[in-house]
Structure 1
Amino acid sequence: MDSREGIARADTARLVSRTVRLPDASLTGVLRTLGRPNAVWTAPDEPGVVGYGAAAQVTADGAERFGAVRERADDVLASPDRPADAPAVARPRFLGGFAFHDGHAGTGPWDGFPTAAFVLPHVQVVTGAGETWLTVNAHGENASESAVERTLRDVTERFAPDERAAASPPGVVATERTTSRAEWREQVRAATGRIRSGELEKVVLAQALDVTLAGAFSLPDAMARLGDTYPSCFRFALRPTNGAAFFGASPERLVTRDGDALRTGALAATVGRGGTPDEDQQLAADLRSSSKYRHEHEVVAERIRDQLADVATAVETGERRVRKLETVQHLFTPITASSDAHVLTLVEALHPTPAVGGLPPDAALRVIRETETFDRGWYAAPVGWFDRSGDGTFAVALRSALADETRVRPFAGAGIVADSDPDTEWDEVQLKYRPILDVFEDDGDDGTDARSGGGDA
């Protein structure tokens, strides 16, 4: 065996992969039917993918984690035994993610989450556009076609999609903050002081909540509710071990590579949604016209263009517009380019964007480490998938949370610039908690603490 993370050597191991079609099912129907997954992914313009078990798993640590994951995954995917007529949509994929910081410890709430972890599922189900496909993968010296086909038969025989509606939300019984309002004011004032001194141009500071539920966390119900409310977002759930799941519905694409075509974009500057159509339009107009918001957004767009300079050509910037979500609206600028680089190379070039880190990057990361009162873990980091050809999609893990049994930890942040007001930024963070809290709060939950920003923990 190779010493690298327990992956068998390419000259003695092989990947066997077979695919059959299943009765059509929704993403949540698959989750209810086949049980507890390792990985879930769905995007507005892609099929959903659910993975169970591990044909292969790769992990990595440190600043070289992006290249290490690619190298180890390439060993697994190098020589697949897969029929030539197998549908491309059901091809084997690695799914997983990275920590925000390269020095991630993987302790406390993040126990079981390495600095980078990806799984090639043993059982992979892809669903969307009226088709559902089952792919079974086996990797190693003893991988065999007969064993793969036996698993195909077993899963097919017991696959009866369970499409019942989501149960009522479990309710929230307690919420505790990792950062009090007084601490937040001090953090923002210290950050703006460092910006005015010239040390920084921008830094993104975040918070977390520790939420106790009245009932157990249900991943199928959570994914169903997020899908109903945020169909245009990147929904994901990752569980590197048998412990907590990291899940969310991110509005932000980090990058997609499809052949030589590259898609990314700048998503930065945030206001809430109005209570009436007129109020909503006024907030959108304020977002477009505010010099603060325009500057915050353009800093991100310019930095992304710079980050792509060494890995892409024909970089083109689309028209800036307002992107409206359920509780907030952002400025968004689409960016396209051409690149023959592996998607993980593009991920490495783009992470972290100024929308989740800051500028200059090294100074911003140092301030984040020195300032925040909790461990970001995989929050605001790249999560997604890639295949043998180097194609794939990664999102920035925003509007996300850790969940285990009755404990949930949502994360949210705000971009701090020279004229940021601590109380305004506080209110923005509370809005960004809503996608996760709304998954669990029933109509009887008060929710005042995280909705309005009142009641410091």
Structure 2
Amino acid sequence: MDRASGDGRLATEPNRDGALVSQSSELEDVSFGAVLDVDGTPRVQWATPDGLEVVGCGVAAQFTATGADRFEQIRSAADRRFADLDHDGPAASRPRAFGGLAFDDGHEPSGPWQGFEGASFVVPRIQVTRADDGTWLTAVAESEADAVDSLEYWRDRLADLPAMRPSGTGPGIASTRRSTTPGEWTEQVETALERIGGGDLEKVVLAQAQTADLETPVDVAATLERLRRQYPNCYRFMIDHGEDGTFFGAPPERLVSMRGDRVETEALAGSVPRGETPEEDDALVERMIDSERFQHEHQLVAETIREQLEPLARDVTVGDQTVRRLATIQHLQTPIEARLADDRHVLEIVEALHPTPAVGGLPLEAAWETIRSVETFDRGWYAAPIGWFDGDGDGEFAVGIRSGVAVDETVTLFAGNGIVADSDPDEEWDEVQLKFRPVLDELR
């Protein structure tokens, strides 16, 4: 059984060798925040703009990896555990592995990223899924008897949970401190501009970190619920590593969604703030659309994504450029679709696309060298792939921006901006501060 001594606590040590068995049953609607309050870590939460929402607790299987071949390590380990999966339930309730990867394949866990390996994914023992066809409880175990027993136990337990959970107010911010001063930022941008002017770079994304010391501990699930209300068209995620910290956020950018041979992704680059009136909104958007700098940056991202997909695809379609309007910011957006030429795992597509020029730069190696030489903090899992995959190799990943990592009574937030030939350090500073706001506002 996945509870110790009948007390309902979820086991957190995975069986690393046995096949997985899962059983599902339909639930009445339940507060996903309340589900996350049950015993058991790690805890995960994933929600998409189109309505899929999943929360999970405990560990049925866990996959971790480090180094340059971390994508392959995760795929191989997951293929072995998923190979003989026996799932009794609808497709929407199937077990999934949730997690993410570090931005840099040389990442070593430290500071707020203690416990966050180069790549880490968990198949929860208990998973609750809300999809178009209802809300489902799934129990995952190493035998049918254990899965059935666990399903019955947790179905009874979750039946007593409320359908709504108050999201409350933010924990309050006692103080903040930055990784980068305005003067340091100006020097960093000027260094990037010199390299761009010398022909070594076309674009580099420079980022900052800001640590908030809180007045009370943060309730991450409640924070995500408030973010849902403010940013309903964004992803929401939480990867909780217990005492090691919780990475969470509300990113607007999809890295990839894959179903069978169909891949969907997007270019999201170039941004301006929202205006005080609809007329000011439109004027800011018009300025962005007409800006040679914004268009150059955006086209670099869209073209590079197309080039990254072409070796894997039978065909790639780049859609028309649109504007993505969020509560505090507006982005240029171009949808991109592909049909794969061969059978692939979503992690292969993730590996091909990460990092996109929207969070790294071009050429990639020159951008990497610039980021490493000028940034004053460890990106950890910031701006890296966050999402899930299943036993068929399908899955969905967002780019881990508009995010923070919570440890004890501190939250470290991250934001960055693309630097191109005519970037102005002061304007870029202001735009980065705007990108801190989605999470920072919900902590106040």
CA contact 1:28–1:223 (8 Å) conserved in 2: no
How far does the alpha carbon of each residue in 1:397-450 deviate from its partner, in whole angstroms, 9 at most, with x for none? 000000123100010000001111000000000000000111111xxxxxxxxx
Other-structure match for 2:59: 54
Using the alignment, how far apart are the partners of 1:114 and 1:409 within structure 2?
18
Preserved contact between residue 404 and residue 412 of structure 2 (Cα < 8 Å) = yes
Question: CA offsets per residue over residues 343-397 of structure 1, 9 Å max, x none?
Answer: 1000000000000000000110111011100000000000000001111000000
Assess if the C-alpha contact under 8 Å between 1:41 and 1:48 holds in 2. Answer: yes
Secondary structure at the residue paired with 2:250? strand
TM-score w.r.t. the length of structure 1 is 0.91
Structure 1 residue identity aligned to 2:437: R
Residues 17-39 of structure 1, C-alpha deviations (whole Å, 9 max, x = no match):
11111211243343346676521
Mapping 1:18-97, distance limit 5 Å: 18-32=23-37, 38-83=43-88, 86-97=89-100
Are 1:430 and 2:429 matched, yes or no? no
- Residue 269, structure 1, aligned to residue 270, structure 2: yes
CA displacement at 1:175 relative to structure 2: 0.5
Residue type of the partner of 1:40?
Q
Report deviation, 1:111.
Answer: 0.3
Q: Equivalent residue of 2:281, what SS?
A: helix
Out of 382, 385, 403, which is 1:382 matched to?
Answer: 385
What is aligned with 1:224? Answer: 225
- CA–CA distance in 2 between the matches of 1:325 and 1:117? 30
Q: Distance in 1 between matches of 2:102 and 2:65?
A: 10
For 1:145, the aligned partner's letter is E
Structure 2 residue aligned with 1:181: 182
Is the Cα–Cα contact under 8 Å of residues 206 and 371 in structure 2 kept in the other structure?
yes
- Give the distance between the partners of 1:217 and 1:52, measured in 2 at CA: 19
**What is the number of equivalent residue pairs in this alignment?**
428
Instruction: State the 1:44 CA deviation.
Output: 1.2
Structure 2 counterpart of 1:161, which letter? Answer: L
Please tell me the residue identity of whatever aligns with 2:161. Answer: P
Give the corresponding residue for 2:10.
none
Given that residues 203 and 419 in structure 2 are in contact (C-alpha distance below 8 angstroms), is that contact kept between their aligned partners in structure 1? yes
Question: Alpha-carbon deviations, 1:121-157, whole Å to 9, x = none?
Answer: 111111244721111112xxxx222222221121111
Aligned: 1:99 with 2:92: no
User: For the residues of structure 2 that align with 1:36 and 1:6, how far apart are their CA atoms?
Assistant: 12
1:258 aligned residue = 259
Aligned to 1:248: 249
Q: CA deviation at 1:276?
A: 1.4
Aligned partners of 1:118 and 1:319: how far apart in 2?
Answer: 35
Deviations 1:285-310 (A, max 9, x none): 00111000000000000000000011
Amino acid at match of 1:314: D
Displacement of 1:16: 1.3
1:68-126 per-residue CA deviation (whole Å, 9 max, x = no partner) reads: 1011000100001223xx10000010000000000001111100000000001111111
- The one-letter amino acid of 1:318's match is G
- Which amino acid is the alignment partner of residue 27 of structure 1? F
Which letter maps to 1:440? L
Q: Which moved more, 1:376-385 or 1:209-218?
A: 209-218
Aligned residue number for residue 445 of structure 1 = none
Choose from 95, 116, 120 the match for 1:117. Answer: 120
Question: Are residues 136 and 348 of structure 1, via their aligned partners in 2, closer, same or farther at CA, if it must alter by over 3 Å?
Answer: same
Identity of aligned residues (%): 50
Structure 2: distance between partners of 1:399 and 1:239: 17
Q: 5 Å matches for 1:143-292?
A: 143-159=142-158, 160-162=160-162, 163-292=164-293
Alignment pair present for 1:14 and 2:24 = no
Partner SS for 2:24: strand
Gaps of 5+ in 2: 1-12
Superposition pairs for residues 410-425 of structure 1, below 5 Å? Answer: 410-425=413-428
Q: What is the RMSD of the two structures over their aligned residues, measured on CA atoms?
A: 1.6
1:58 positional shift: 0.5
Distance 2:315 2:15 in 1: 37
Deviates more, 1:101-110 or 1:163-172: 163-172
**Stretch moving more, 165-174 or 92-101:** 165-174
1:403 equivalent in alignment to 2:368:
no
Equivalent residue, structure 2, for 1:302: 303
The TM-score, its normalising length taken from structure 2, stands at 0.93
Contact 1:204/1:355 (8 A) holds in 2: yes
Partner Cα separation in structure 2 for residue 381 and residue 333 of structure 1: 20
- The whole-number CA distance in structure 1 between the counterparts of 2:180 and 2:220 is 27
In the alignment, structure 1 segments of 5+ residues that lack a partner are: 442-457
CA shift, 1:241, in A, is: 4.8
For residue 250 of structure 1, give the secondary structure of its aligned residue in structure 2.
coil
In the TM superposition, residue 204 of structure 1 has moved relative to its aligned partner by 0.2
Determine which of 372, 376, 389 is the counterpart of 1:373.
376
One-letter amino acid matched to 1:273:
R
Q: Partner of 1:131 in structure 2?
A: 134
Q: Is 1:117–1:240's contact at 8 Å kept on the other side of the alignment?
A: no
Aligned-partner Cα distance in 1 for 2:420–2:15: 45
Deviation at residue 278 of structure 1 after TM alignment:
1.1
> Matches of 1:73 and 1:36 in 2, distance apart?
20
